Structure 1
Amino acid sequence: MRRKAEAGRPASDGSPLTAERAIVQAVSKVAQDMFTLPVQTLGITESRRTLADLPEALEPLSLIAIIEGPDEGLGIIALPPETLSVLIEMQTMGSLAKTAPPARKPTRIDASMVVDYLDTVLAMIEETLAETEAVIWAGGFRYASYLDDPRPLGLLLEDVGYRLWQVELGFGPGFERKGKLLWAVPVNGRGHALRRLPGSDAEEGAVMTPADGEAEWHTRLETSVLGASAVIEAVLHRVTLPLSAVMQLRPGMSLPVPTDALENLTLEGVGKRRLSAARLGQHRGMRAVRLSEEENSGMFDLDTSTPKVRRVVPQPFEPGESPFAGKPAAAAPLGPLDRIDSPAYDPEPGAEGLGGFGGFDGGADLGGLGGLDGLGGLGGETGDLGGLGGLGGLGGLDPEGETGGLPPLKIGSSM
């Protein structure tokens, strides 16, 4: 019993565990802790596969769990029908049947029942290999989705090389039930931020120097920043419509898009900030965009030292020929009607001497007021003129003349 207990412990010399030992320990220990299920590893092999060869290693009717790692890297864990039935029986009945049930197509419920087991195994592998280089390709993966058919793998996974681990397992007290587990991840991992230096964890009573604290702070900051999500949108074209047209949009209606929009896409970040130019294409049957290198130069050069002001330079003025050259001058408009000497009251064009009423011929039009220059002889008699007393200077007006024929004066304000 002592030898069996020591078999599951790390090496006493403190040497780091290999990826093979980490996988074996994780698969067995998690099954024992979660389901009280004894699991023995009968064999484990590692190989390299391309994306086209990967589906050939999967058994029919296997549950294919899609796992996602750092920088959106994808991998798979495949559970053949024998292994899947063991995990389902331990959770539903608490014990294993003597024989395996017939193989069937896995369902979403099956995937939800084994997701905790898979995530715990992946987390334990990552923690075990945290101080080794293997954590770069083995760490950071967790369950994302599942497939019941391997054919869509060519569209979901990247076209890169994969590390394929095939583990043969024996289940139960006497290991009478057999099964397999397949784990495939990209060869070139992206989990550089997950690696820890040996002895980086401060033990109780240890003294951390300022340099160690600064290095740890930078590592944590880099991990947090690089792990943050950023949304980038590929904008094909923008259409401006009035609100009345927007309210009438219905499924099936078409919006006008220029023919060159496929070649002039724009990648934008938060707040419609332009990041890069691109063009629309496809990659392995899926829509994709390709960055335009010739238009990206200087795209991210931001100069915030001084605010940029748009300067408008006016066009130089060049005087030309006057449009009124050689044309007769237009006649001046008639004067206003609020002045007695206005030309608008000239009874005959060319009349002169209106300012002092000189030059008028005493005719019938003015009721015998000819020669207004001599009206000063009226003196103080105002009875015949009805309120015109005191108008000295109207000499020449006969006080005994007839005034009944005077037409009514309509410009009394000027008089």
Structure 2
Amino acid sequence: MAEQGGIRRKLAVVQQPAGPPASAAERGWPLALARAARDSFALGLEVTRLTAGVHSLAVLLELPPERALIAVLEGPGDALGLLVIAPGTLAAMTEVQTMGRVLPQPPLPRKPTRTDAAMVAGFIDAALADLETGLLAEADRVWASGFRYASFLDDARPLGLLLEDAAYRVLQAELALAEGVRQGQMLLALPASGRGQRPPAVVPPAVQAGAAQQFQAALALQVMASACVIEAVLCRLSLPLAQVMALAPGDVLALPLATVDRIACEGLTGQKLAEGRLGQHRGQRALRLALPGAEVLSGAGALAALPGVGQAG
């Protein structure tokens, strides 16, 4: 029966007449509520209907139902908002935490308590944080982000003194709780003007591509202009430390593997980059590099193999 009720609710939502496209906050709020209820209470929560509007403070004060828990929210720039949890919804959230399930019979009428507020404060913050995460690149981020639970009221009468006399964006949600065992309502009201962070400016893909190419070109220019140290190594020796400490001027070190036909070019890390033959070019010591994988020629053959370089010998 619960499954059939869920199907009917979904069909009813689908069959509602088409209206203006929903804003990002309107799309994200039902998902945020469902995920927060699941993670906080292991409670199934489905938004069967969501109504959005902008209301004056006078109209907003008439919306909270009797005996609802009114959570006062603090946001950017000392802005205040409301999250109103209807009695049936509050009872379902407390029942699932105290008894492990939502009772099918309607709850007895009572005023919400400080204990009730403490039991749902984490859920409220989780839902608001989830909504905020989904609005990082959306215009609704200005008014719907940055709010968290601050305190609660069990009566709507002080709201006229507490809230700023301004316009408020209001999201009214009708809920099905615990697979339809309980029906409920929840209302979110935040200042319409918005004092939160604005989303980052959207850069067109063509501009992004051009900026990326300019950055790559500038980076390549800097890299290619940097100094690169290459060492020409005739031979490397490994000697006992005692022999090294005993070296004196005039001593002769044998270089059995050294040959002027195979001079290694190494980078700072000691990695071999190339090989060449030691010789001269215009009166200076020079290396004629060998092609990768090719034998290094010696004598006059090296000069004949690579034209365009001065006499080496």
Shorter-chain TM-score range: 0.5 to 0.7
Cα distance in 1 for partners of 2:200, 2:98 equals: 39
Residue number in structure 1 paired with 2:144? 138
Between 1 and 2, higher relative CO (CA 8 Å, sep ≥ 6) is seen in 2
Cα distance in 1 for partners of 2:59, 2:40 equals: 34
Is it true that 1:84 corresponds to 2:90 in the alignment? yes
TM-score of the aligned structures, taking structure 2 as reference length: 0.57
Q: CA deviation at 1:82?
A: 0.3
Cα distance in 2 for partners of 1:35, 1:145 equals: 20
Contact 1:126/1:140 (<8 A) preserved? yes
Is it true that 1:126 corresponds to 2:132 in the alignment? yes
Match of 1:31 among 33, 37, 44: 37
Cα distance in 1 for partners of 2:40, 2:118 equals: 15
1:170–1:191: structure 2 CA closer, same or farther, 3 Å change rule?
A: same
Match of 2:122 among 96, 105, 116: 116
Is it true that 1:56 corresponds to 2:62 in the alignment? yes
Cα distance in 2 for partners of 1:130, 1:184 equals: 20
Q: CA deviation at 1:198?
A: 5.8
Cα distance in 1 for partners of 2:167, 2:118 equals: 29
Q: CA deviation at 1:17?
A: 7.1
User: In the alignment, residue 92 of structure 2 is paired with which amino acid?
Assistant: V
Cα distance in 2 for partners of 1:40, 1:185 equals: 22
Is it true that 1:159 corresponds to 2:165 in the alignment? yes
Cα distance in 2 for partners of 1:33, 1:83 equals: 16
Contact 2:73/2:81 (<8 A) preserved? yes
The correspondence of residues 16-415 of structure 1 with structure 2, limited to 5 A, is 18-173=24-179, 175-192=180-197, 195-197=199-201
Q: CA deviation at 1:91?
A: 1.1
Structure 2 unaligned blocks of 5 or more: 1-6, 11-21, 204-211, 216-313
TM-score of the aligned structures, taking structure 1 as reference length: 0.43
1:85–1:198: structure 2 CA closer, same or farther, 3 Å change rule?
A: farther
- How many residues are matched? 188
- Judging by fraction of residues, say which structure has more helix: 2
User: In the alignment, residue 73 of structure 1 is paired with which amino acid?
Assistant: A
C-alpha deviations, 1:23-55, integer Å up to 9, x for none? 010011111122221111110001221112212
% identical equivalent positions: 41
Cα distance in 2 for partners of 1:21, 1:103 equals: 32
Q: CA deviation at 1:197?
A: 4.8
Q: Which is greater in Rg?
A: 1
- Judging by fraction of residues, say which structure has more strand: 2
